[in-house]
Structure 1
Amino acid sequence: MQNRVLLVEDDDELRQLLARYLTGQGFDVREAANGTDGLSLAAEGFADVVVLDIMLPDISGLDVLRELRARTHLPVILLTARGDETDRIVGFEVGADDYIPKPCNPRELVARLQAVLRRVAWDHQADVDSARVFGDLKVEPEQRRVILRGEVLDLTATEYEVLQVLLAHAGSVVRKTDLMQWALGRRLAAYDRTLDMHISNLRRKLGAEEPSRIETVRGLGYSFRITDVAAAQLPRQAAGSKP
């Protein structure tokens, strides 16, 4: 079965180029030249993943992302202007899973799409009875759902994957390079703050308690802090293995 990509981009030449390339790589592509049409196609349940330009003629891509996040947990990759860090930061805060600057390399876009889809597919293979509890935090992999004190957290697909890796190694340090590879499916590049932004969003959604549940280990990576109650509930995980 082909993976379905919804491509929302108002630049006709770029959109058609990307659509042709993605189709040639085995994707089933639907195109939208504006945010309104993109939201309509998403509402029809067509897409497995959305590639969304921030600069659209009718609705801001960030507003389209907000609408999508109100309705669905579909993975979203943003197309952003090169060097525009503000848009990227806001995009992650709103719920983007990844971004790629324009003009983009079609091969890199394919790699990002495959990484996102692999993460989602891998997690969907979880057993029905594999829910895990970490103190007041419960993870239900089949529904890709995280519940904190009885409330379901509104996590993006990538935030969920980052949290899954940290929880699988709770109490231990996960190197940034490993976390980037395991959760985002790509190598950590110099000056790439994508992972830091996802961690920041997770901390906010997990609550403002101090110390933070996700600790920064300077020069190494991140660690999920566990309580004594949560420690007794931790699943056994082979050191250095992907969760």
Structure 2
Amino acid sequence: MKKILIVEDEQLIAELERDYLEVSGYQADIATDGEQGLRLGMSGEYDLIILDLMIPVINGYVVCKQIRETHNIPILMVTAKKEDVDVIRGLGLGADDYITKPFKPGELVARVKAHLTRYERLVGGKENKEVIRIRGLLIDFDSRRVFIHDREISLTIKEFDLLYFLATNPNRVYSKEHLFERIWGVDSMGDAQTVTVHVRRLREKIEDASVNSEYIETVWGVGYRFRL
């Protein structure tokens, strides 16, 4: 049984989320503040974390950042704010997706199921895939490791999935909407924004401004493509 950690200080909301998840066949625990959420999230006992950003003691941004430094499990960010800057900040710290309050519990369960399914498929698959080498970049799907000029870099689950998809389909232009559907697989008001943030983080990690090392090109008004 998959274990879900709910980090939420509003007790009624947390209990409602837990009830819906348990009815759907998941085991769910609740942490009511950031300190408890960080401790439980770092334990390695959970398959996915639902993380509210506005929680006491330690806010959700810090919790997300610290968990993401050592764990690659899906993190679904919950926010009552709709401002782009808050969403971008949360995604930039490693959250895989976000949902804005108020939301329907059924929608939350659908997001959880989608992310768990994709995570399990991507890290548990036995299909052998060749190592991709493009200029100074090396991508090993089986080990889910990425090297740039022989130096290993750390990517989140979605960063790796996005990079691998683009690299295995070079010179083709994909819209942000297509990439979101392909990598995240769920509808969201912030789909294009989610892709934009992840592309920016990928560029920061794999591209060297001092040399001609652009891998992901922006095709203005259309989307992105991976350049050989």
Q: Identify whether the pair has TM-score above 0.5, normalized to the shorter chain.
A: yes
TM superposition shift of 1:159: 1.3
The residue number in structure 2 matching 1:76 is 75
TM superposition shift of 1:29: 1.0
TM superposition shift of 1:85: 2.1
Q: Distance in 2 between matches of 1:71 and 1:177?
A: 29
Please give the residue correspondences for 1:92-103 in structure 2 after superposition, counting only pairs within 5 Å: 92-103=91-102
Q: Distance in 2 between matches of 1:129 and 1:162?
A: 16
Give the unaligned 5+ runs of structure 2.
Answer: none
The residue number in structure 2 matching 1:215 is 217
Please tell me whether the aligned partners of residues 32 and 38 of structure 1 are also in contact (alpha carbons under 8 angstroms).
Answer: yes
Q: Secondary structure at the match of 1:155?
A: coil
TM superposition shift of 1:217: 1.5
Please give the residue correspondences for 1:106-125 in structure 2 after superposition, counting only pairs within 5 Å: 106-124=105-123, 125=125
The residue number in structure 1 matching 2:177 is 177
TM superposition shift of 1:113: 1.7
Give the unaligned 5+ runs of structure 1.
Answer: 227-243
Please tell me whether the aligned partners of residues 78 and 99 of structure 1 are also in contact (alpha carbons under 8 angstroms).
Answer: yes
Q: Distance in 2 between matches of 1:199 and 1:220?
A: 14
Q: Distance in 1 between matches of 2:178 and 2:191?
A: 16
Q: 1:111 to 1:208 in 2, by over 3 A?
A: farther
The residue number in structure 2 matching 1:105 is 104
Q: 1:80 to 1:42 in 2, by over 3 A?
A: same
Alignment of 1:28 onto 2:49: no
TM superposition shift of 1:208: 4.2
Q: Distance in 1 between matches of 2:36 and 2:128?
A: 36
Deviations 1:122-151 (CA, angstroms, capped at 9, x unpaired): 222044564332232122223322221222
Q: Report the AA paired with residue 223 of structure 1.
A: R
Q: Secondary structure at the match of 1:223?
A: strand
Q: Distance in 1 between matches of 2:117 and 2:110?
A: 10
Q: Distance in 2 between matches of 1:120 and 1:144?
A: 12
TM superposition shift of 1:82: 3.3
Q: Distance in 1 between matches of 2:46 and 2:155?
A: 19
TM superposition shift of 1:178: 2.1
Deviations 1:177-198 (CA, angstroms, capped at 9, x unpaired): 3211111112475884111111
Q: Distance in 2 between matches of 1:83 and 1:129?
A: 40
Please tell me whether the aligned partners of residues 176 and 192 of structure 2 are also in contact (alpha carbons under 8 angstroms).
Answer: no
Q: Secondary structure at the match of 1:203?
A: helix
Please tell me whether the aligned partners of residues 6 and 46 of structure 1 are also in contact (alpha carbons under 8 angstroms).
Answer: no
Q: Distance in 2 between matches of 1:41 and 1:47?
A: 8
Please tell me whether the aligned partners of residues 4 and 50 of structure 2 are also in contact (alpha carbons under 8 angstroms).
Answer: yes
Q: Distance in 2 between matches of 1:190 and 1:77?
A: 13
Q: Secondary structure at the match of 1:77?
A: strand
Q: 1:176 to 1:191 in 2, by over 3 A?
A: closer
CA RMSD of aligned residues (A): 2.0
Please tell me whether the aligned partners of residues 148 and 206 of structure 1 are also in contact (alpha carbons under 8 angstroms).
Answer: yes
Q: Report the AA paired with residue 206 of structure 1.
A: I
The residue number in structure 1 matching 2:61 is 62
Q: Distance in 2 between matches of 1:48 and 1:106?
A: 19
Percent of aligned positions with the same letter in both sequences? Answer: 32
TM superposition shift of 1:61: 0.6
TM-score (normalizing by structure 1): 0.85
Q: 1:165 to 1:188 in 2, by over 3 A?
A: farther
Q: Distance in 2 between matches of 1:184 and 1:85?
A: 19
Q: Report the AA paired with residue 28 of structure 1.
A: Q
Please tell me whether the aligned partners of residues 119 and 161 of structure 1 are also in contact (alpha carbons under 8 angstroms).
Answer: no
The residue number in structure 1 matching 2:3 is 4
Q: Secondary structure at the match of 1:139?
A: strand
TM superposition shift of 1:207: 2.0
Please tell me whether the aligned partners of residues 126 and 141 of structure 1 are also in contact (alpha carbons under 8 angstroms).
Answer: no
